Amino acid sequence: MHVIIERNRMVHDVQHVAKAVSSRTTIPILTGIKLVADANGLTLTGSDSDLSIESFIPKEENEREIVQIEQAGSIVLQSKYFAEIVKKLPGETIEIQVHDQFAATIRSGSSVFTLNGLDPEEYPRLPQLKEDLIFSLPQDMLRNIIRQTVFAVSTQETRPVLTGVNIETENGELICTATDSHRLAMRKTKIDSQDEGLEFKNVVIPGKSLQELSKILEDTSDLAEIVVTENQILFKLGNLLFFSRLLEGKYPVTSGMIPTQFKTSFVVKTKELVHTLERAMLLSREAKNNVINVKTLGDNQIEITSTSQEIGKVTEKMATDQFEGDEIRISFNGKNILDALKVVDSDEVQIFLTGAMSPFVIRPIDSDHYLHLFSPVRTY
Amino acid sequence: MHVIIERNRMVHDVQHVAKAVSSRTTIPILTGIKLVADANGLTLTGSDSDLSIESFIPKEENEREIVQIEQAGSIVLQSKYFAEIVKKLPGETIEIQVHDQFAATIRSGSSVFTLNGLDPEEYPRLPQLKEDLIFSLPQDMLRNIIRQTVFAVSTQETRPVLTGVNIETENGELICTATDSHRLAMRKTKIDSQDEGLEFKNVVIPGKSLQELSKILEDTSDLAEIVVTENQILFKLGNLLFFSRLLEGKYPVTSGMIPTQFKTSFVVKTKELVHTLERAMLLSREAKNNVINVKTLGDNQIEITSTSQEIGKVTEKMATDQFEGDEIRISFNGKNILDALKVVDSDEVQIFLTGAMSPFVIRPIDSDHYLHLFSPVRTY
């Protein structure tokens, strides 16, 4: 293999595929990035076997030469060093030449690196997916859906299926749900599909995969094509393919958990509530339970308090709007509410309560396509 | 005690004194910040007993009221909570009112905090220093002197005196030296002193104190007044007093270590050398010895190499200027050189070598008021 490639493009694409490489893998070949040069261009692949990312750099793009292929071939280079080296190389272009014994010389400007590599024949093949279930979403919308759900997945391995985001279709809509059993985030969106009758359920994507994917997604309305199979999902983003294993197991049916009737509801300013909770958390955080108490005051105000025996107490009043229903007191985990409010783009949120011991709902006021559900905390 | 104070000023000054408070202290009262209100204003104090910072907020400044003293008094409040709380308070002003039992109520906008405090009578007194040895330096210059020396102090407690920066006078100049015995940074400067015959030596300021001081120093030519005593140093910065304990023990005499005759010298571009070393370090870093080899090539070029048996090799050529003397090969700890080059403000540095096994010197080309000295590494 012998190629000469634009440095900036190489840095960009190596950073993407390196996201799939784990330094803690037990399979030595997977600590590397596979480079394959053929007549069409250069393909980079990184994988930790759960997650695989493949990026293709074509010879030419918009009539500009990006890669010059002097000789086809392939090699696997240690991701940790290779990614750092390309980032720091001084020249405009990078020349990579593979020798016997799986060693590569990398030249750029005044720099010459010789890196020991690994046998590309040992690198595992990427899955070949049957493209039966396909739909597409704009990249920026997909990124937003991930942002608004993935924070709510469970971080505990006791119920592995809860460490993922569940996606399913219902009446031509895509429903994305994440829950750790104390809080739940749910986001709906219309989807475009060539197939009118697109239908699937219990497709659970690991939260970790979605976090990596969201770093690669761009702020563009270009479509991402999504292929769903029984145990894999593939996101096609132009020249980049992002494969993730799906989580096994049955995702809980969450639709019945969301209350539809409420005893009390009111509207508050999102930022004001964030700041008030952040102050209240200064004291409750220490106790590690993050318990915040809210009490309605009967004059369109709520009082937010938090107490730590050792440190002290904080009390704050907040104005509400559109107050309806009964007076109520409730306690909850302030951190969970803050996490949710931070992904709300709306200036105001509406809070729906059904009782001190029942789950409650927060929705952005200007949209019904997503909601957050929380369990209260028992304080006696 | 009952005061009403501008929030921004309080946030600023609390952040400064909180730098002296350690969460790992064994003396409970020192986890707090002492607040003392009297007829003139509010004084804040933080201390970890090695380092103490006192900041005075006057009632008025430039004919603007900053603190309103309703009632004189004092209290000690937990730094960790108090500093976070004032930063997050919503109002323009903060009202602090002390009750019995050393509790304080803090009001700002819609927020009311009640914090448990400690008895201010238990707070240790700050040292009263005899102001015999006094000199002054512009704050920005003092900050630069710290930046250019403190990185070279030892981080190992085996020779405690080397964890500090030594300052001494010589012919009306201040000489600041830091060394960990493998590298040395030395910075000289003229000083202003009311006392013509100002003279002192072996004044060793803990590196940690200087790092905190440099965060407080402002980018201004306002003078810092410096008071030196046998076991304390005091920096007076306007309304802020910064006390540090001095390190005990005899600082090594370093003047004789610096070679005055050289066999080889040349000039290189500072940034180019930084980037080349950073690339070379990508491979040597892993082996944890950071060994970089330099060889002169006889045509005003040097070759920089680094080799890791496992990973590979890097070679880079660099142009030199004003080459004088013999050809030479030398190996050194690349990280030490990088640390030094990062505090050099000059575009070019001159490197002076006396042999493969002898210490060598790097100086900025446009000034003789500071230098860096390094021990080479034996590679066979």
Domain that holds residue B181: 133-255
- Which secondary-structure segment (H or E) carries B96? strand B93-98
User: Cβ–Cβ of A112/B314 closer than 8 Å?
Assistant: yes
Mean pLDDT of chain B: 94
Residues B118 and B170 in one domain: no
- Which residue's structure tokens are 């080799």? B307
User: Cβ–Cβ of A113/B313 closer than 8 Å?
Assistant: yes
Residues A251 and A169 in one domain: yes
How many angstroms separate the CA atoms of B98 and B110, rounded? 19
How many angstroms separate the CA atoms of B195 and B212, rounded? 28
Percent share of chain B, pLDDT over 90: 86
pLDDT given at position B194: 65
> How many contacts does A have with B, using Cβ atoms within 8 A?
82
How many angstroms separate the CA atoms of A157 and A145, rounded? 23
Q: Both tokens of residue A311?
A: 């440190």
Q: Residue B81: inside a domain, yes or no?
A: yes
Q: Residue B296: inside a domain, yes or no?
A: yes
Residues 6 or more apart from A30 whose CB is under 8 A from it?
A21, A22, A47, A48, A49, A124
How many angstroms separate the CA atoms of A314 and B110, rounded? 11
- B154 close to B117: Cβ distance less than 8 angstroms: no
- Which residue's structure tokens are 């403000």? B345
User: Cβ–Cβ of B279/A85 closer than 8 Å?
Assistant: yes
Q: DSSP alpha helices (H): ranges in B241-298?
A: 270-284
pLDDT given at position B100: 83
pLDDT given at position A145: 97
Among B7, B82, B96, B110, pick the best mutation site for testing chain A contact (most A Cβ within 10 A).
Answer: B110
- Which secondary-structure segment (H or E) carries B97? strand B93-98
Give the β-pairing of A240-245 and A312-319: unpaired
Q: Could you write out the DSSP letters of every residue in B52-81?
A: EEEEEEESEETTEE-EEEEE-EEEEEEHHH
pLDDT given at position B91: 96
Residues A104 and A176 in one domain: no
CATH number, position A185: 3.10.150.10
pLDDT given at position A273: 97
| DSSP 8-state secondary structure symbol assigned to residue A179 | E
- Which residue's structure tokens are 């108490």? A293
| DSSP 8-state secondary structure symbol assigned to residue B92 | S
- Residue B95 pLDDT more than 80? yes
| Residue A13 backbone dihedrals phi, psi, to 5 degrees | -75, -35
For residue B325, give the amino acid letter.
G
Domain end marker among A122, A142, A169: A122
Question: Closest partner residue to B88 among A103, A115, A282, by Cβ?
Answer: A282
Q: Provide the shortest C-alpha distance from residue B367 to chain A (in Å).
A: 29
Residues B267 and B224 in one domain: no
When pLDDT is cut at 50, 70 and 90, the band that residue B127 belongs to is confident
pLDDT given at position B26: 86
Other CB atoms closer than 10 Å to residue A366's CB: what's the count?
11
| DSSP 8-state secondary structure symbol assigned to residue A182 | S
Q: DSSP alpha helices (H): ranges in B113-232?
A: 139-149, 207-216
Domain end marker among A100, A122, A144: A122
User: Cβ–Cβ of A116/B310 closer than 8 Å?
Assistant: yes
Q: Provide the shortest C-alpha distance from residue B87 to chain A (in Å).
A: 10
CA-CA distances (angstroms) from residue B140 to A188, A310, B240, B342? Answer: 56, 42, 16, 18
- Which residue's structure tokens are 């309703």? B70
Residues B299 and B367 in one domain: yes
- Which residue, B269, B363, B288, B335, is CA-closest to A110? B269
Q: Both tokens of residue A334?
A: 């302030």
How many angstroms separate the CA atoms of A170 and B254, rounded? 78
pLDDT given at position B288: 65
Query: Looking at the DSSP assignment, which residues form a beta bridge with residue B336?
Result: none
Query: Looking at the DSSP assignment, which residues form a beta bridge with residue A329?
Result: A295
Q: Could you write out the DSSP letters of every residue in B118-147?
A: E-GGGSPPPP-----EEEEEEHHHHHHHHH
- A320 close to A300: Cβ distance less than 8 angstroms: yes
pLDDT given at position A195: 62
CA-CA distances (angstroms) from residue A77 to A331, B111, B205? Answer: 53, 57, 48
- Which residue, A323, A373, A377, is CA-closest to A184? A373
User: Cβ–Cβ of A312/B103 closer than 8 Å?
Assistant: yes
pLDDT given at position A287: 63
Domain end marker among B122, B145, B167: B122
Look at phi and psi of residue A338 and say left if phi exceeds 0, alpha if psi is from -120 to 50, else beta: alpha
- Residue B53 pLDDT more than 70? yes
Q: Both tokens of residue A78?
A: 């240690």
How many angstroms separate the CA atoms of B120 and B310, rounded? 61
Long-range pairs, A122-126, Cβ under 8 A, ≥24: A122/A29, A122/A76, A123/A29, A123/A32, A123/A34, A123/A45, A123/A76, A124/A29, A124/A30, A124/A47, A124/A49, A126/A45, A126/A47, A126/A52, A126/A54, A126/A241, A126/A243
How many angstroms separate the CA atoms of B311 and A79, rounded? 11
- Name the closest residue on chain B to residue A115, using Cα atoms: B312
Q: Residue B128: inside a domain, yes or no?
A: no
Residues 6 or more apart from B195 whose CB is under 8 A from it?
B133, B134, B135
| Residue B351 backbone dihedrals phi, psi, to 5 degrees | -110, 130
Residues 6 or more apart from A83 whose CB is under 8 A from it?
A14, A15, A18, A33
Q: Residue A307: inside a domain, yes or no?
A: yes
- Which residue's structure tokens are 């909850």? A332
Residues A239 and A263 in one domain: no
- Residue B285 pLDDT more than 90? no
Residues A281 and A369 in one domain: yes
- Residue B363 pLDDT more than 70? yes
User: Cβ–Cβ of B113/A314 closer than 8 Å?
Assistant: yes
- Residue B152 pLDDT more than 90? yes
Mean pLDDT score, B98-120: 95
| Most confident listed range (A180-194, B41-55, B128-142) | B41-55
CA A24 to chain centre: 21
- Which residue, B12, B25, B21, is CA-closest to B51? B21
More confident residue, B354 or B255: B354
Other CB atoms closer than 10 Å to residue B228's CB: what's the count?
20
- Which secondary-structure segment (H or E) carries A330? strand A329-333
| Angle at which helices B334-341 and B270-284 cross, to 10° | 150
Residues B86 and B23 in one domain: yes
Residues B138 and B242 in one domain: yes
Please report, in angstroms and rounded to a whole number, the separation of the first and last CA atoms in chain A. 70
For residue A331, give the amino acid letter.
S
Q: pLDDT digit of tens for each residue in chain A (380 aa)?
A: 999 999 999 999 999 999 999 988 889 999 999 999 999 999 999 999 999 999 999 999 999 999 999 999 999 999 999 999 999 999 999 999 999 889 999 999 999 999 999 999 999 999 899 988 999 999 999 999 999 999 999 999 899 999 999 999 998 899 999 999 999 999 999 887 666 678 999 999 999 999 999 999 999 999 999 999 999 999 999 999 999 999 999 999 988 888 989 999 999 999 999 999 999 999 877 666 789 999 999 889 999 999 988 899 999 999 999 999 999 999 999 999 999 999 999 999 999 999 989 999 999 998 788 999 999 998 76
Q: Residue A380: inside a domain, yes or no?
A: no
How many angstroms separate the CA atoms of A240 and A237, rounded? 5
- Name the closest residue on chain B to residue A80, using Cα atoms: B282
Q: Residue B165: inside a domain, yes or no?
A: yes
Q: What SS3 state is found at B49?
A: coil
| Angle at which helices A79-88 and B270-284 cross, to 10° | 170
pLDDT given at position B107: 98
Residues B248 and B158 in one domain: yes
Q: Both tokens of residue B137?
A: 């330096």
CATH number, position B325: 3.70.10.10
Strand order in the sheet with A321-325: A203-206, A164-170, A173-179, A183-190, A370-374, A360-364, A348-353, A264-269, A321-325
User: Cβ–Cβ of B312/A113 closer than 8 Å?
Assistant: yes
| Angle at which helices A79-88 and A7-18 cross, to 10° | 150
* Range with lowest mean pLDDT among A347-351, A375-379, B157-161, B206-210: A375-379
User: Cβ–Cβ of B88/A275 closer than 8 Å?
Assistant: yes
Mean pLDDT score, B185-212: 89
Question: Closest partner residue to A111 among B90, B103, B279, by Cβ?
Answer: B279
Return the sign of the alpha-carbon dihedral for residues A121, A122, A126, A128: positive
pLDDT given at position B185: 97
pLDDT given at position A127: 86
- Which secondary-structure segment (H or E) carries B203? strand B203-206
Q: Residue A127: inside a domain, yes or no?
A: no
Residues B264 and B370 in one domain: yes
pLDDT given at position A367: 79
User: Cβ–Cβ of A116/B311 closer than 8 Å?
Assistant: yes
- A150 close to A186: Cβ distance less than 8 angstroms: no
Residues A59 and A112 in one domain: yes
Query: Looking at the DSSP assignment, which residues form a beta bridge with residue B2?
Result: B71, B97
User: What are the residues of chain A with a beta carbon less than 8 Å away from any beta carbon of chain B?
Assistant: 78, 81, 84-85, 88-90, 103, 110-116, 275-276, 278-279, 282-283, 310-318
pLDDT given at position A192: 72
Return the sign of the alpha-carbon dihedral for residues A131, A136, A140, A143: negative
Q: Residue B380: inside a domain, yes or no?
A: no
How many structural domains is chain A composed of? 3
